[in-house]
Amino acid sequence: MNRRKFLTILGSAGAASALGTAGAAKAAGGTHTWPYYENSYGVLHDTTRCIGCRRCEEGCNKANGLPRPDKPFDDLSALDERRRMTPTAWTVVNKYELDDKPVFRKLQCFHCNDPACASACFAKCFQKQPDGSVTYDGSQCVGCRYCMVACPFYVPSFEYNDAWDPLVQKCTFCEPRLKEGKLPGCVDACPMDALTFGRRSDLIKVARARIKANPGKYADYIYGEWDAGGTAWMVLAPSASAVADEKHPLAETGHEFKALGLDTHLGNRPMGELTAGALGAVPMIVAFWPVLFGGAYAISKRRDALHKAETEAVIKEARDDMANAMDAAVRKIAETQGPGVADTARQAMAEVLKTREEACANCGHHGEDK
């Protein structure tokens, strides 16, 4: 199930279930789940200046002490394939084609004004900070990966290879550096001034001034000013020839941005509105959370104290308890929210359970503090 289908099913179910409530009234008016911080920072990526040198990737790697990649940063053959962010590469630069010319775009977290990742996270790991960054604190992360499903930009990545305590990873906007009055590592490293850091409100003025002062150079749009409810990181694209064929996939407003791999159908409403609706539709999952937690904890705790055979019996018993509780929860969701939501809830619970069991089975550490 892709994220749009997931959000559509849950969002519409949430809206339906909330009809006549204050929640529905708020949604109809465009709900912002976070305050808008007037003085927050942002970054403008001017893709007309970007040369695809990967220095920003290197700057991010150094600033955040990430492991070195397989391909060194001066190896530009990395741009031959379209890459996504990973737990150890919080930003990547990709190459696109516009009017048969290469255009490079840097990918990282957009630090949304209303972050869908934050709205989807039961454990409240994500916070929109007044400086504009969307930060992640993994200490309460349960590994459900709802943030990954919710993010419209496919940003958060998960440490699947970490058997001990896999966490979500993403660009932090170099929040610790911002606090010290330093530029983000990537911005500091860019030799082309393709990344401009500043107050978001000033960056919008800068972007408009560039578009106005250079007729024909830029597409007349600032990606992120309004998209997905507005983002701290924004993008300027070069203008490109209009596409004559109306059936051509790029023959529409914003085709330059679409050509750069940006989603031009997110709309201007905050994405958090949709994911908050999703959570409202499946309150049973939230209510059920402690059962899942408690079950996994009981398995690991009791496993320590018992012999192997007894342990297996306890695990089976705990699993059966959880399976029964999950079935009861899903039946209740099916009655109140319909079978589609119940299926999604069942899938989500099974995923959580699997992740936690795998973590417990592989960590080798079953003490009280686990």
Q: Where on the chain is the footprint of ligand SF4 (CB under 6 A)?
A: 50-56, 59-60, 63-64, 90-91, 93, 104, 106, 108-112, 115-117, 134, 151, 153, 155-156, 170-174, 184-186, 189-190, 192, 194-195
Of the pair 199, 346, the CB lying nearest ligand SF4 is at: 199
CB of 219 to ligand SF4, least distance (A): 18
DSSP string, 3-24: HHHHHHHHHHHHHHHTTTSHHH
* Residue whose CB is less far from ligand SF4, 42 or 295: 42
Beta carbon nearer to ligand SF4, 15 or 187: 187
Report d(CA 273, CA 222) in Å as an integer. Answer: 22
Distance CA 43, CA 105 (A): 13
List the structure tokens of 179. 């606090």
Least separation in angstroms between residue 262's CB and ligand SF4 is: 12
Q: CB–CB of 274/253 below 8 Å?
A: no
Range 304-310 contact pairs with CB under 8 angstroms and sequence separation of 24 or more: 304/366, 304/367
CB 315, min distance to ligand SF4, A: 35
Kindly tell me which of 195 and 342 has the beta carbon lying closer to ligand SF4.
195
Neighbour-count burial for 208-218, b at 16+ CB within 10 Å, e otherwise:
eebbeeeeeeb
Contacts of 247 (CB under 8 A, 6+ apart): none
Q: Which is nearer to ligand SF4, 73 or 288 (CB)?
A: 73
Q: How far is the CB of 153 from ligand SF4 (least distance, A)?
A: 4
How many residues does this entry show for the chain?
370
Tokens encoding 276: 């908050």
Give the angle subtended at the CA of 261 by the CAs of 43 and 27, to the nearest 5°: 70
**Closest CB to ligand SF4 among residues 174, 279:** 174
Closest approach of ligand SF4 to the CB of residue 95, in Å: 10
Separation of alpha carbons 172 and 187, rounded Å: 13
- Shortest separation between residue 46's beta carbon and ligand SF4, angstroms: 9
Minimal distance, residue 134 CB to ligand SF4, in Å: 4
Contact 262, 223 (CB under 8 A): yes
Q: Which is nearer to ligand SF4, 110 or 288 (CB)?
A: 110
